[in-house]
């Protein structure tokens, strides 16, 4: 009888540990997905502002941020299709990619501003 109670307690502990691990992983994934979406929103807003800044200097029709906007669309489509089952690590790589693209756009805008100042 005591053995049965011990086995039941161990099974309950094991089930609780498995449930807790799954919950932690789901929360980590949720945070990673939220971070990707926040980064994508911020980058898209920056691209729109960059486009306006460039058009103010170069005139309408000049759209050097088009490629970045297309990449952002590709990232959003990927997230829509695969974000639900993507691992937190994959989501973090996507966010890093978005952050890197944003940094490159900022560098280009800084160069444009310096050229405009001269």
66-82 and 2-58 helices, crossing angle to 10°? 160
Indicate whether 84 belongs to any domain. Answer: yes
Contact 112, 57 (CB under 8 A): yes
Indicate whether 15 belongs to any domain. Answer: no
* pLDDT score for 61: 62
Contact 98, 40 (CB under 8 A): yes
CA distance 103 to 97: 10
Indicate whether 59 belongs to any domain. Answer: yes
Q: Which residue has the higher pLDDT, 54 or 27?
A: 27
Length of the chain, in residues: 118
CA count, 13 A, side-chain hemisphere, 4: 1
- Domain total for the chain? 1
Host domain of residue 107: 28-117
* pLDDT score for 21: 92
């Amino acid at each position: 009888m005591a053995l049965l109670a011990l086995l039941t307690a161990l099974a309950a502990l094991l089930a609780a540990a498995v449930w807790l691990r799954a919950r932690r992983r789901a929360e980590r994934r949720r945070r990673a997905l939220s971070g990707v979406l926040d980064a994508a929103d911020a980058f898209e807003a920056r691209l729109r502002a960059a486009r306006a800044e460039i058009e103010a200097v170069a005139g309408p029709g000049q759209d050097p941020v088009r490629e970045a906007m297309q990449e952002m669309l590709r990232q959003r489509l990927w997230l829509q299709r695969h974000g639900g089952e993507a691992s937190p690590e994959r989501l973090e790589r996507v966010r890093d990619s978005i952050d890197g693209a944003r940094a490159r756009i900022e560098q280009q805008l800084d160069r444009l501003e310096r050229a405009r100042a001269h």
